Structure 1
């Protein structure tokens, strides 16, 4: 990593810590600069506004999340199951991912970037569901577009409620339950036992 890239990453990480703890409205440029160990002037040279910093956090969160979704398995549904475990792990361990999701959901000014992220996420999941239908894993009477548009908000809601109820301490079993419901609901009967076994193995803490 080049020195400039390293400094930028340091500032984004410091901003993420503040946004994750306090939210967009409460976090301050002064607090972010203090957390990063730089002057406010230095911070402003990189990011002229708090809004610019928030966008940088969201962009980095998107990159890390989409990387976790790159898991590939011959079984399309196994690909999605394991990718969701990867995203769940990031939510529990990566402050940039947590902060990006928090501020994107709480602040209307960032709605355009948030919408773009979810559109990309849904489109990627729809593509995998198309493969799942073509391979016979998923029932052909359920449209891949509807499945993708349902799975993404389902997962988002599960992780948000888990955060409120337990600080995401119960996130893995909650996502496991989500997948059990989905497998029973949309997978072809001949694939259910195998997929439920994958779910169990994937979400052992």
Structure 2
């Protein structure tokens, strides 16, 4: 059981979100209860209602926190745009394996139409960010411009989402890292310029410990 958190400040709110994420990830939105979240967080139901008026508000808080944690994984600092995106996807895959908030946020975004507005905006942001990376990759000569950056971004985001969902259903994400690595190897062979292909395949191998093709 978590240590009870006193007061009404950000520590208590964070404890509630963390406990709620575990409950949502384990049971789904419908089966999770305010009482169960309060017990898991080590707080009273009144303390939960001070921060969140409804269970839906808690779920939206989890989704917002998940968005923040996953977006933080994507930066434009890497000199190789596509290499940076590969590494970012490895970071996000690691969060899916280790962070209940990220797992719960993804589950909530896909299982309940109540959250479609918030999650639609989240995926729009993700696609826009990945499109920006592919634009940089095209400009750097890493990616063959035959397929537009817009088409690549709009494809890679749902592809990654599908890979992690199928991994969750089939293997409780035990095969997530090799599955995402295979996704990147296929993409690299399909659209990366020959001059950059070996280097980027090596990035994928290092990130996901993929066996040689």
TM exceeding 0.5 = yes
CA distance in 1 between partners of 2:92 and 2:117 (Å): 22
| Counterpart pick for 1:174 among 164, 176, 179 | 179
1:69–1:87 CA contact under 8 A, matched in 2: no
Q: Partner of 2:4 in structure 1? A: none
Q: Partner of 2:128 in structure 1? A: 123
Pairwise CA distance, 1:72: 2.8
Cα 1:162–1:71 change in 2 (3 A) is farther
* Alignment RMSD (CA, Å): 1.3
List aligned pairs for 1:93-132, cutoff 5 A. 93-132=98-137
| Counterpart pick for 1:183 among 167, 173, 188 | 188
CA distance in 2 between partners of 1:118 and 1:7 (Å): 29
List aligned pairs for 1:30-69, cutoff 5 A. 30-69=35-74
1:85–1:203 CA contact under 8 A, matched in 2: yes
The secondary structure found in structure 1 opposite 2:29 is: helix
TM-score when scaled to structure 2? 0.93
CA distance in 2 between partners of 1:18 and 1:91 (Å): 15
CA distance in 2 between partners of 1:17 and 1:197 (Å): 36
Q: Partner of 1:203 in structure 2? A: 208
CA distance in 1 between partners of 2:15 and 2:123 (Å): 26
Deviations 1:149-178 (A, max 9, x none): 000000000000001111111001000000
Pairwise CA distance, 1:57: 0.2
Deviations 1:110-156 (A, max 9, x none): 00110011011110000010011111110111100000000000000
Runs of 4+ in 1 over 3 A off after TM superposition: none
Deviations 1:75-106 (A, max 9, x none): 11101100000000000000000000001110
TM-score when scaled to structure 1? 0.97
| Counterpart pick for 2:159 among 150, 154, 176 | 154
CA distance in 2 between partners of 1:91 and 1:103 (Å): 14
In terms of fraction of residues, the more helix-rich structure is: 1
Q: Where in structure 1 are there 5+ consecutive unaligned residues?
A: none
CA distance in 2 between partners of 1:46 and 1:190 (Å): 54
Q: Where in structure 2 are there 5+ consecutive unaligned residues?
A: 1-6
Matched length? 204
